[in-house]
Homo-oligomer: A and B are copies of this chain.
């Protein structure tokens, strides 16, 4: 029997990143640059293993509080205070979630009414767009590439309408590695400060910045605090993607509703994973390790691939390279498929991150350096034999 389902759910498509990953897995001997999956996850586990084991033996492993294990919330509050000068009450303004994906969904569910608009800086992470659509919202794109990777207040202010409910910033950015500068943030602040617009700041890559650069945040503007959600977690900076622990910080008034949505989604985050996160936060060297590993990778991959592509965005943070492959005369999707077939290298086409195919592809370089070298050599050989 055929039954009509939710109209928004039917329009939301599976992630193309995952589709490329599954396709890559169907070939042998593939160098896989699809997912943002730091390769040192075993190292993290080995580092936290003993502490985690002892924790499990002395603490219950049942449901945690719906906001998360209080001791973890306190550790997160201290971490965010120390590292980012973000001051949030662990009892009422922090919710521990299933990765940073969950608060994207929970916050958007909390704030969006049908037809509300969300401004997103394009290219952007897949799940922003699909979540906005899933809740009946409309994505309004600010095109970073057409604007020399800068936020221009005259361009941005044109996008704001009475329907604008939120603006979403992801800095450092997936997939470009762009770090929003103080000037960029100032432009955003000036455009929105007098409008009733929520700010969603996805800071999951905030620890991973290069060249000694600091990553500023819109949380530096104290008068945005009462309408700002900060998303973060340990997936990237502590190489803990598979543990699925993120968190959302925000003003109590709204966080208490996000917490109810979170409870309706999943009841509470994995308690085991929360204990692991508590252990990981005792090891800041894990993050430093990731930064230095991936800065070396970034330098190598950028220098090596620049001559082969029409345009390459120099990443200031995160661990992705965004490459304009249109000089190969293929759509980004065709390029990704051909590269996989011919050289057994998997990347993600721009259709995963943009409304239209811009010809760009994303390469995730958070892998082992030797693997990276082999993959880059293969890309350099692409089409040479034709």
Contact = CB atoms under 8 A, between A and B. Distances in A.
A243 B267 CA distance: 12
Contacts of A165: 3
Given A12-B264, A127-B263, A61 B37 contact: no
Interface string A252-273: 0010110111011111111111
Interface string A11-22: 011110010001
A37 B13 contact: no
A1 interface: yes
A276 B267 contact: no
A261 B198 CA distance: 23
Given A35-B62, A37-B63, A61-B243, A1 B264 contact: no
Given A196-B1, A244-B268, A266-B266, A35 B63 contact: yes
Given A227-B1, A261-B9, A266-B102, A41 B14 contact: no
Given A3-B111, A14-B66, A264-B131, A9 B271 contact: no
A346 B127 CA distance: 41
A201 interface: no
Nearest to A66: B18
Contacts of A64: 242
Interface in A40-83: 41-42, 45, 56-57, 60-66
Contacts of A159: none
Contacts of A131: 264
A153 interface: no
Assembly stoichiometry (copies): 2
Main secondary structure, interface of A, reads helix
Contact of A62 (B56, B241, B270): B241
A233 to B, nearest CB: 11
A60 B265 CA distance: 26
Interface string A206-250: 000000000000000000001100000000000001111000000
Given A63-B241, A273-B272, A263 B14 contact: yes
Nearest to A18: B66
A129 to B, nearest CB: 10
A356 interface: no
A219 to B, nearest CB: 15
Interface residues of A, number: 72
Given A3-B111, A101-B267, A272 B257 contact: no
Contacts of A130: 260, 263-264
A113 interface: yes
Nearest to A165: B3
A232 to B, nearest CB: 15
Interface of A: 1-7, 9-10, 12-15, 18, 22, 35, 37, 41-42, 45, 56-57, 60-66, 98-99, 101-102, 105, 109-113, 127, 130-131, 134-135, 165, 196-198, 226-227, 241-244, 254, 256-257, 259-261, 263-273, 276
Question: What are the nearest 5 A-B pairs in CB distance?
Answer: A242-B271, A61-B242, A101-B267, A98-B266, A37-B62
